[in-house]
Amino acid sequence: MPDVYSVITEADDAVIERVAMAMETSAADPQHEAMVADYLSRLDPSDRSRVVEIGCGTGAIARIITRLIEVGEYVGTDPSEPLLERARRFAPGGRLRFERADGADLPFDDASFDAAIIHRVLSHAPDPTAVVTEAVRVLRPGGVLAICDGDYATTTVALSATDPLQCCVAAFTPAFVNDAWVVRRLSRLATEAGVERLQVRSYGFVQVHDADYMLSIIERGAAQLVTTGTIGPQLAAALTGEAQRRVDNGIFFGHVAYGSLTATKPRMQPRSEAGKPQRARRESNPRPSDP
């Protein structure tokens, strides 16, 4: 079964509500804000006038970013209209703009933005190469690309090698993550898209007492095990109950490793690119500076 985010336009209301909650819950953890603050620290003030976020979901990262730094114009894009509807509702004072778009086919001119953010999207998008290529296309020369994602291949809730809770993570990952290894290819994706001055960082996200997000992974994994007929509802309830017991007793451990990459679009076009036709603007989709 494909990652629900990679087929998000087909998701029903219940699925949208569940993933929207999960996005908001994990972004609300201060550890998440610290990661965003770290990669934003690599943007100069001149990179902040026009910012595009690709795969913004409910706008949780948009709200963190615009709280942390002054942004002239912020455009969040996502293929899912129900998620964008939440993003518009949650954003304070209509300062942020949200538009429907697939990250592999952005409705913006070449060189329209100073910075492009791709946060927790490449692990879900069916074609990460196309998304990064589009992000670089819409960046102005000298603009900054910032990518952050989970290294879901190493997500753990296990306290030992034989901990049965880890089965929930094993079931969660293929159902909710298209590419659990993509963080390890960020440098390659960025280099092939033509950016330079790459900086890569890693972060740990750990939950022990306040474990809402990690518990949502266990719940979704346990539900997935029931859906596939691997276990019955009684065992699923026992697994989620065990996770809650650990949280209540302060002995839970849930960890997701994240990675970020920032890079700059060269000011000079490589010789091989010079003379290539630029992509035409689509009249039905106004420039971000249009009203």
Binding residues (CB under 6 A) for ligand SAM: these are 5-6, 8, 23, 27, 54-57, 60-61, 78-80, 83, 102-104, 119-121, 124-125, 131
Smallest gap from Cβ 78 to ligand SAM, in A, equals: 5
Contact 52, 288 (CB under 8 A): yes
Is the CB of residue 59 less than 8 Å from the CB of residue 20?
no
Inter-residue contact 78 to 52 (CB < 8 Å): no
Cα dihedral 56→62→63→64 (10° resolution) = 110
Q: Which is nearer to ligand SAM, 36 or 236 (CB)?
A: 36
Nearer to ligand SAM, 48 or 124 (CB): 124
Shortest Å distance, C-beta 15 to ligand SAM: 11
Q: Using CA atoms, how far apart are residues 83 and 98, in angstroms rounded to an integer?
A: 10
Nearest CB to ligand SAM, comparing residues 47 and 78: 78
Residue 266, exposed/middle/buried by CB under 10 A (0-12, 13-18, 19+)?
middle
In the bound state with ligand SAM, the residue whose beta carbon lies nearer, of 152 and 252, is: 152
Sign of the CA dihedral 30, 207, 234, 229? Answer: positive
> CB of residue 221 vs ligand SAM: minimum separation in angstroms?
16
Least Å distance, CB 24 to ligand SAM, is: 8
**Which residue, 27 or 43, has its beta carbon nearer to ligand SAM?**
27
* CA-closest candidate to residue 180, choices 258, 79, 102: 258
Q: From the CB of 28, what's the least distance to ligand SAM, in Å?
A: 10
CA 61 to CA 39: how far, in whole Å?
12
CB of 214 to ligand SAM, least distance (A): 15
Based on CB atoms, which residue is closest to ligand SAM, 60 or 231?
A: 60
